[in-house]
Amino acid sequence: MSCDGCSTASALDLDVSMAFQPIYDAVDERVWGYEALVRGVGGEGAAEVLAQVRPDQRYRFDQDCRVTAIELASRLFPEPEQLKLSINFMPNAVYEPSACLRATLRAADRHGFPLTSIMFEFTEDEQVADTEHLTGIIAEYRKRGFTTAIDDFGAGHAGLSLLVDFQPDLIKIDMLVIRGVDTDPARQAVVAGVVHMADALGITVLAEGIETVAEYRTLRGAGIRLFQGYWFARPAFEALPPLQNPR
């Protein structure tokens, strides 16, 4: 299957690497997986890297990030089949879901990385005009065995409408909702509502941006299982950082 958008996209004129941040499973008390966060080859931050990507390079950038994340994870993960690799993707950089997965599938096959260990997440901050196209992407990814997730849930323009149109496997509650949740009844009420809604839809909830033990304990008490944030570990450049702090 060919894809005109894939074949005409401009080449990328910068190299990328990844930092990794753990996702903690509070029920099993172990690392559930790692999110791959784009960096420059010298460790430059995501904002600096993204500022160099032109609109016509978005496809190549998205593809390079996927392949790089898989290549690094295949070397770093001690047991890939028992960990999830979370990769951010740009829905607007996917032209034809099946064709645009070819590089991903080749990289996974080349490095012996299980497809079922890959989670693709997209942020609701990225405006997607064609909801049907996004639904098609999610359907294709699930067919291949990938896990799907909405990142920054509660911070973007789309909000609940995304869950009306389709249900991902996982939603990540944005850190702006999480910050100070231990002392804020309004935030606690919002989190409780999200957890209840996700339970009804069969969706797993992950709280991201955890910075204090009080935030963690409040959210754990609300029934959330998966966590990510500086309280557990900061991202490590081309490495897997150890968990910090007692749970």
Q: At 43, phi and psi to the nearest 5? A: 90, 5
CB atoms within 10 A of CB 143: 10
Length of the chain: 247
pLDDT for the residue 36: 97
Contact indicator for 40, 17 with CB cutoff of 8 Å: yes
Q: Which three-class secondary structure state does DSSP give residue 139?
A: helix
d(CA 32, CA 34): 7
Phi-psi region of 246 (alpha: psi -120 to 50; beta: other; left: phi over 0): beta
The two beta strands, 16-25 and 236-237, are: antiparallel
d(CA 66, CA 97): 14
- Range 55-58, long-range pairs (CB < 8 A, 24+ positions): 56/9, 56/10, 57/9, 57/10, 57/11, 57/12, 57/13, 58/9, 58/90, 58/92, 58/93
Q: Which two tokens stand for residue 216?
A: 């963690």
Outline where 77-128 has alpha helix (H). 102-111
d(CA 90, CA 84): 19
| Strand ranges (E), 14-145 | 16-25, 30-40, 84-88, 118-123
pLDDT for the residue 1: 46
Angle at 222 between CA 220 and CA 226, to 5 degrees: 45
In order along its 247 residues, the chain shows pLDDT tens digits of: 444 444 445 677 789 999 999 999 999 999 999 999 999 999 999 999 989 988 888 888 988 999 999 999 999 999 878 899 999 887 665 656 666 788 899 999 999 999 999 999 886 555 555 667 777 778 888 888 899 998 888 765 556 777 777 788 999 998 999 999 999 999 999 999 999 999 999 999 999 999 999 999 999 999 999 999 999 999 999 999 999 875 5
Q: Which amino acid would we find at residue 156?
A: G
